[in-house]
């Protein structure tokens, strides 16, 4: 039996007939992804957009417009005693990585001290909070995915200096799917 006849009679030929179409489909979708207008980005430690979000000094490194709204990353540089009260995100998950200092983080009612090199994951719909503990400033890399929360931080950073107006803070956060508990 010749090769062509063998392939036709075994059904293998049917599978091989579709392989070029499968590769074509994969190549087409890969091309559409690679044709996006997003570019690689390198951000040095001292670079980024700095926001004072109610005492949480954030340097935004990557935002949604950089990542096709996949992720936003910022660095928190905060003094001892600064804290974010218990709250729930309904849109994004967060990852916290301590670079310097110590952070007490509470997720779903369980508190743990994070030291340099430690990290924590706070899924959406789970209450969480954090506080800088110890005697030195803390530096923490925070990631949220999907992106979008950076717009809330921009609005919060535009509030007047001084004691925060919690009604305004709560309203801005609620617009972005975050509520305090």
What are 49-68's pLDDT values in tens digits?
Answer: 999 999 899 999 999 999 99
Q: What pLDDT was estimated at residue 161?
A: 86
- Distance set, CA 2 to CA 8, 12, 52, 66 (Å): 10, 14, 75, 56
How do strand 56-62 and strand 72-78 relate by DSSP bridges?
A: antiparallel
Q: What are phi and psi of 44, to 5 degrees?
A: -75, 160
Residue 93 has pLDDT above 80, yes or no: yes
Percent of the chain scored above 90 by pLDDT? Answer: 75
Q: Quick one: tokens of 63? A: 């935002």
Closest by CA to 132, choosing from 101, 107, 108, 153, is 101
Residues 136 and 117 sit within 8 Å (Cβ to Cβ): no
Burial of 141 (0-12, 13-18, 19+ CB in 10 A): middle
Residues 38 and 65 sit within 8 Å (Cβ to Cβ): no
User: What is the pTM (predicted TM-score) of this model?
Assistant: 0.78
Mean pLDDT of 147-162: 96
Q: What pLDDT was estimated at residue 137?
A: 96
């Amino acid at each position: 039996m010749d090769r062509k006849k063998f392939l036709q009679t075994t059904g293998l030929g049917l599978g091989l007939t579709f392989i070029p179409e499968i590769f074509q489909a994969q190549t087409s979708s890969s091309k559409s992804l690679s044709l996006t207008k997003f570019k690689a980005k390198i951000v040095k430690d001292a670079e980024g957009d700095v926001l004072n979000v109610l005492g949480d000094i954030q340097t935004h490194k990557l935002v949604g417009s950089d990542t096709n709204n996949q992720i936003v990353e910022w660095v928190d540089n905060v003094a001892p005693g600064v804290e974010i009260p218990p709250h729930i995100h309904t849109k994004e998950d967060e990852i916290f990585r301590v670079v310097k200092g110590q952070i007490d983080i509470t997720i779903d009612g369980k508190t743990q001290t994070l030291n340099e090199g430690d990290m924590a994951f706070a899924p959406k719909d789970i209450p969480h909070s954090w506080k800088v503990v110890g005697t030195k400033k803390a530096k923490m890399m925070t990631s949220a995915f999907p992106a979008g929360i950076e717009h809330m931080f921009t609005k919060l950073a535009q509030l007047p200096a001084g004691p925060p107006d919690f009604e305004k803070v709560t309203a801005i956060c609620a617009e972005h799917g975050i509520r305090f508990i």
